[in-house]
Structure 1
Amino acid sequence: MTQTIGELLEAAADRALPVVRGIEDGQLGGGTPCAEYDVRALVNHLFQVVVNFQALAAREEVDFGQVPEFVAGDWRARFGAETARLVEAWSVPGVEEGTTGQMGLPARTVGLMVLGDLTVHAWDLARATGADFVPEERVLDELGPGLAALAPQAREMKVFGEPFPVEEGATAFERLLAVTGRDPGWRPGGADGATGSTGTAGTTGAAGAVRS
């Protein structure tokens, strides 16, 4: 049985929220697998994705060129609240029908994009801060084929880097990370494993922004 986007986002959020809530203030300036972003900037970016994809679910216009400052005050609690709203927005009956976003992509494809952002960026933040993160298998079952299909366009738009080489015995999640241009073995202070990848295809593909 096909899982709805709302169900998949709820599962992804359950794994992502402990990572975000566990980030300490002293870790906000640390590096991440996304070369352009430190931890603070990546949290801020993910916040923007979570908020804007609520609007895309409702067929509203969004502007990814404007980046508010989300990492202020009790931002950890607010991230949880906004993520809950994201799940609600993509759980409305009929939300996966038709198209949304400036590029008129199928709504389910757009939903898979934010699912990818929530999952991959949770890994980015976990790896940057030393937290544990393992996505649910059912989320990977949807994301693996979905991101692989989006990858060629995402690379043309400079959203994904070139595929990172992984060994034959790599896990499904390691292969997914590699498709986005990430080094699944990235560690803080080591060689930069990101090869031009700042996110998944979600933000650019759905909203027509310059990058994810």
Structure 2
Amino acid sequence: MTSTEISPAQRYRDLAAGFTARIDAVPADHWDNASPCEGWTARDVVRHVLDSERDMVKVVGLELAPGPSVDDDPSAAWAAVRDSMQAILDDPAKSTLEYDGHFGRTNLGATVEGFLCFDLVIHGWDLAAATGTDTTMRDTDVEWVSEIAAGLGESIRMSGVCGPEIQVPDNADKATKLLAFLGRKA
């Protein structure tokens, strides 16, 4: 790792803090608002993130600590999953556990970084868009997610991942172009 690269644990910590801020900004009466993800509410976006994280660690024989239901307390449910995932990522013996993934042999930390951290940025935007809170994404996150999305190619269009690309003007900003590539209207 070079001095400009960060570990999966560090990236997760940083992006999870941003996702936490987005959750904490949601007004109590906005959890059932429709999200940009077809058929999902704001609460469903958080549920998806939690379920993805819980399912991810199972592929290497681990479990996240149980926590409250997203239906009862989305913030507390997220905090329980986040803290449990962070503890796993901070333990090299666990974060480097290998498995055979969709794109070949990999390890838990790499998948969390390339998939779950991606979700924290994009579903953070979905959550903010659903609830009328600040949808701004950091430029560094937009660039990082754009690189990952481009690397995924057409596999990003698999059922249940992202919708078809939306056309935007050539002079649109990078965040708008990224969201459009992922089937979202900024």
TM-score (norm 1): 0.70
State the partner residue of 1:199.
none
State the partner residue of 1:89.
88
State the partner residue of 1:117.
119
Q: CA deviation at 1:61?
A: 7.3
Measure the CA separation in 1 of the matches of 2:119 and 2:144: 13
Distance 1:102 1:170, change over 3 A: same
Distance 1:96 1:89, change over 3 A: closer
State the partner residue of 1:165.
167
Q: CA deviation at 1:120?
A: 0.6
Letter in 2 for 1:23: V
Deviations 1:63-114 (A, max 9, x none): xxxxxx9323333123123212223323332666574365345332453110
Contact 1:100 1:110 in 2 (8 A): no
User: Equivalent of 2:136, from 134, 157, 164?
Assistant: 134
Could you say which structure has the greater relative contact order, defined with CA pairs below 8 angstroms and 6 or more residues apart? 1
State the partner residue of 1:188.
none
Matches within 5 A, 1:1-212: 1-56=4-59, 59-60=60-61, 70-93=69-92, 97=96, 99-100=98-99, 103=102, 104-107=104-107, 108-184=110-186
Deviations 1:150-206 (A, max 9, x none): 14112144522121112223333222222211112xxxxxxxxxxxxxxxxxxxxxx
Measure the CA separation in 1 of the matches of 2:98 and 2:70: 31
Q: CA deviation at 1:10?
A: 1.4
Measure the CA separation in 2 of the matches of 1:54 and 1:37: 24
Query: Quick one: percent identity of the two aligned structures?
Result: 21
Contact 1:6 1:91 in 2 (8 A): yes
Distance 1:150 1:28, change over 3 A: same
Long gaps (5+) in structure 1: 63-68, 185-212
Distance 1:75 1:32, change over 3 A: closer
Q: SS where residue 177 of structure 1 aligns?
A: helix
Contact 1:47 1:70 in 2 (8 A): no
Pick the structure with more helix per residue: 2
Q: SS where residue 182 of structure 1 aligns?
A: coil
Measure the CA separation in 1 of the matches of 2:93 and 2:164: 35
Distance 1:153 1:113, change over 3 A: same
What's the C-alpha RMSD, in Å, of the aligned pairs? 2.8
Q: CA deviation at 1:123?
A: 0.5
Distance 1:172 1:37, change over 3 A: same
Distance 1:79 1:109, change over 3 A: closer
Q: SS where residue 92 of structure 2 aligns?
A: coil
